[in-house]
C-alpha cells in the first residue's frame, strides 16, 4: 500500500517551502528531514523532554506532537530563526553563552525557543524571578547542567532584552510609581 | 517511534466533520490538540484508520459564561486560553486553579480542555473539575440535535467515554459554583507538570453564619473514572474557620478505591488522599468565607 501524500507549504523562519509528506509525518521530522533544519532536536518523541519545541505563530509548542499537515498557514520559528537578520544572537542565546547554560547542547534548542517565547510575556523593564524562570523551563529536560545556569540564563536574557531596549530593570521604580 | 500510517481528513465545518465521522464509523478518530493522542500514536498504542482533524473548523474556540454562571468551553479552546480567560476565572475560579496544573506551558498552548475531557483520563485535571462542578458534555452527531450529557453518564472507564464513533464533543460545560461556596485544587507529582500521583478538587459551602453545610471532593489518579465524594458528614455544622478537616480527609480514605501502579502504591495514594484533602479543604473554606464577606 502506498501512503497518500500531502503537499504542504511550511513557513519556517520567514521562508515558505513546499514539502510533500504523508499525514503521519511529525512536524519535527518535516523540519529536520524534509527541510533539513537540524537545529530542532528530537529526544523522547512523545512530548516529555521539550527538545523539539518550536514556536507556532510565536507560541511554544512541541513539534513532535503535531503533524506537518497541520502547520499549513502558520508561522514556525525554529532555533535557527531566533538570531536577528544580521546574525546577532537572540538575548536568550547570548545569555546561555554568558551563563554557561548548556553542556552537551542536545536540549538547548528546546530551551532557547521556550524561553524566547516566554520573554515576550514580560515588558523589558520587568524582572523575572527565579521561581518564574523555573516555571518557564519546567517542561524541558536537561541531563547535563543541573538547571542552575539555565535558570540564571532566563534572568540574564531578560536583562539583555532591557539593555538592548535601552531600559534598565528597576523594581523600585514600579513601587515609587515612576 | 513514529505513528502508524493513517488517512487524514481536515473538515472546515462541524457539519462536514460529522458527515465524515458518520461515514467512517469505527475507523474514524477525532484529532483536536493531539497532546494525548499523538503520543499514543507514536507509541503505537492506538492505530485509527483515519484521523479527523477538527483544527480547521471555525466557531469551536469560544469560551462563554452562561446566565446561570456555568462556563461553556468550545472544542478548540486550548488550556492556555482557558487559563488566561478572565471571565471564566471570575465565574468559576476552580477552572484556573486546576488548569495551571495541566502539564507544561508548551502542552497547554496546544492541548484542548474539551479534548482532555473526551480523552477521559482519570489522571486528568479537567475530568475531575467537570465532575465536581456537575458539568456536562455537548455532543453532536449528523442529523441529530446536540445532546447534553451529564458528567455522571459521560465517563465509562479509564480512557473510555460514552462518545460514539460518529459523535463529536463540541463543547464542555462546567457547572456554576453554589452560592457561599469556595474551592481549591491541589495535586502532587514527582516533577511539576507530570501526571499527578494524586490530586484533589474540593468545594466547601457555608451558611450565613459561616458554618459548613456541604463538602465535596473529586480526585485525580485515584479511581477508574472521576467520582465526587461527599465529605460533609465529617465536618457538618462546624465553623468554616476551625472545622476538623483532618476528619474529612480520613473519611475520604474510606470512600476511594485507588489502585497501585508504577508511580505509587494504592496505600500511598490513599495517604495522599487524606493529606491533600486535609490541606485543600481549609483553603476552600477560606475562599468561601472571603466570597460571602465580599458579597455581604
B2 lies in some domain = no
**CA-nearest residue of chain B to A141?**
B191
As given in the structure block, the three cell numbers for residue B157 are: 472507564
ipTM of the complex in this document:
0.93
Give, for B8, the enclosing helix (H) or strand (E): strand B7-9
As given in the structure block, the three cell numbers for residue B54 are: 477538527
What's the total number of domains in chain B?
3
pLDDT in tens, chain A (178 residues): 589 999 999 999 999 999 999 999 999 999 999 999 999 999 999 999 999 999 999 999 999 999 999 999 999 999 999 999 999 999 999 999 999 999 999 999 999 999 999 999 999 999 999 999 999 999 999 999 999 999 999 999 999 999 999 886 555 544 444 4
B139 lies in some domain = yes
State whether B31 and B85 are in the same domain: no
CATH code, domain carrying B191: 3.30.390.50
Question: Residue B119 has what pLDDT?
Answer: 96
Domains of chain A, earliest start first: 5-80 (3.10.20.30), 91-165 (1.10.150.120)
pTM across the whole model: 0.94
State whether B170 and B68 are in the same domain: yes
- The parent domain of residue B22 ranges over 7-53
CATH code, domain carrying B46: 3.30.43.10
CATH code, domain carrying B70: 3.30.465.10
Query: Are A118 and B192 in contact (CB < 8 Å)?
Result: no
Q: DSSP assignment, residue B26?
A: G
The percentage of chain B sitting over the pLDDT mark of 70, rounded to a whole number, equals 100
**CA-nearest residue of chain A to B40?**
A46
Is B296 a residue whose pLDDT tops 80?
no
State whether B193 and B283 are in the same domain: yes
Query: Are A60 and B7 in contact (CB < 8 Å)?
Result: no
B1 lies in some domain = no
Dihedral sign, Cα of residue B110, residue B113, residue B119, residue B120? positive
B243 lies in some domain = yes
Indicate the residue among B109, B142, B174 that finishes a domain: B174
Give the distance, in angstroms, between the CA of residue B39 and the centroid of all CA atoms in the same chain.
Answer: 20
Helix (H, G, I), strand (E, B) or coil at B263: coil
Judged by a CB distance cut-off of 8 A, whether residue B53 touches chain A is: yes
Judged by a CB distance cut-off of 8 A, whether residue B244 touches chain A is: no
Indicate the residue among B174, B192, B211 that finishes a domain: B174
pLDDT tens digits, A29-73: 999 999 999 999 999 999 999 999 999 999 999 999 999 999 999
As given in the structure block, the three cell numbers for residue A41 are: 532536536
Contacts of B219 (CB under 8 A, 6+ apart): B128, B198, B199, B200, B201, B226, B227, B229, B252, B256, B273
Judged by a CB distance cut-off of 8 A, whether residue A3 touches chain B is: yes
B89 lies in some domain = yes
Question: Residue A178 has what pLDDT?
Answer: 41
Amino acid at each position: 500500500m502506498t501512503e497518500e501524500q500531502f503537499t504542504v507549504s511550511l513557513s519556517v523562519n520567514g521562508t515558505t517551502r513546499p514539502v510533500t509528506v504523508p499525514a503521519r509525518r511529525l512536524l519535527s521530522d518535516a523540519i529536520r528531514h524534509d527541510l533539513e533544519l537540524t537545529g530542532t532536536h528530537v529526544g523522547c518523541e512523545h512530548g516529555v523532554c521539550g527538545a523539539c519545541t518550536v514556536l507556532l505563530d510565536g507560541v511554544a509548542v512541541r513539534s513532535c506532537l503535531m503533524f506537518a499537515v497541520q502547520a499549513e498557514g502558520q508561522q514556525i520559528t525554529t532555533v535557527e530563526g531566533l538570531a536577528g537578520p544580521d546574525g546577532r544572537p537572540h538575548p536568550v542565546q547570548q545569555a546561555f553563552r554568558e551563563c554557561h547554560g548548556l553542556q552537551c547542547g542536545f536540549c538547548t534548542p528546546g530551551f532557547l525557543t521556550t524561553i524566547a517565547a516566554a520573554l515576550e510575556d514580560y515588558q523589558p523593564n520587568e524582572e523575572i524571578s527565579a521561581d518564574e524562570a523555573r516555571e518557564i523551563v519546567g517542561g524541558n529536560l536537561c541531563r547535563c547542567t543541573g538547571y542552575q545556569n539555565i535558570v540564571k540564563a532566563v534572568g540574564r536574557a531578560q536583562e539583555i532584552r532591557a539593555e538592548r531596549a535601552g531600559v534598565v530593570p528597576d523594581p523600585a521604580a514600579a513601587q515609587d510609581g515612576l | 517511534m513514529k505513528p502508524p500510517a493513517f488517512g487524514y481528513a481536515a473538515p472546515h465545518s462541524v457539519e462536514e466533520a460529522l458527515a465524515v465521522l458518520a461515514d467512517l464509523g469505527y475507523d474514524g478518530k477525532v484529532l483536536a490538540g493531539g497532546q494525548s493522542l499523538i503520543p499514543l500514536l507514536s507509541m503505537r498504542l492506538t492505530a485509527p484508520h483515519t484521523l479527523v482533524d477538527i483544527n480547521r473548523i471555525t466557531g469551536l474556540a469560544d469560551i462563554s459564561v452562561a446566565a446561570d454562571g456555568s462556563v461553556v468551553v468550545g472544542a478548540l479552546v486550548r488550556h492556555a486560553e482557558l487559563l488566561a480567560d478572565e471571565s471564566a476565572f471570575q465565574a468559576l475560579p476552580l477552572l484556573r486553579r486546576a488548569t495551571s496544573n495541566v502539564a507544561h506551558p508548551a502542552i497547554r498552548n496546544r492541548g484542548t480542555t474539551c479534548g482532555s475531557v473526551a480523552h477521559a483520563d482519570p489522571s486528568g485535571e479537567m475530568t475531575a473539575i467537570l465532575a465536581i462542578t456537575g458539568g456536562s458534555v455537548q455532543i453532536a452527531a449528523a442529523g441529530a440535535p446536540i445532546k447534553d450529557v451529564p458528567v455522571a453518564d459521560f465517563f465509562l472507564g479509564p480512557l473510555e467515554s460514552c462518545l460514539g464513533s460518529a459523535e463529536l464533543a463540541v463543547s464542555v460545560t462546567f457547572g456554576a459554583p453554589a452560592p457561599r461556596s469556595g474551592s481549591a485544587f491541589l495535586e502532587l507529582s514527582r516533577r511539576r507538570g507530570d501526571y499527578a500521583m494524586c490530586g484533589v478538587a474540593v468545594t466547601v459551602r457555608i451558611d450565613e453564619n459561616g458554618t459548613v453545610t456541604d463538602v465535596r471532593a473529586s480526585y485525580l489518579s485515584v479511581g477508574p473514572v472521576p467520582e465526587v465524594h461527599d465529605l460533609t458528614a465529617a465536618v457538618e455544622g462546624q465553623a468554616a474557620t476551625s472545622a476538623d478537616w483532618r476528619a474529612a480527609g480520613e473519611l475520604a480514605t474510606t470512600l476511594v478505591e485507588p489502585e497501585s501502579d508504577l508511580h505509587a502504591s494504592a496505600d500511598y495514594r490513599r495517604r495522599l488522599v487524606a493529606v491533600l484533602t486535609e490541606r485543600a479543604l481549609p483553603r476552600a473554606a477560606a475562599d468561601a468565607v472571603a466570597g460571602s464577606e465580599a458579597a455581604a
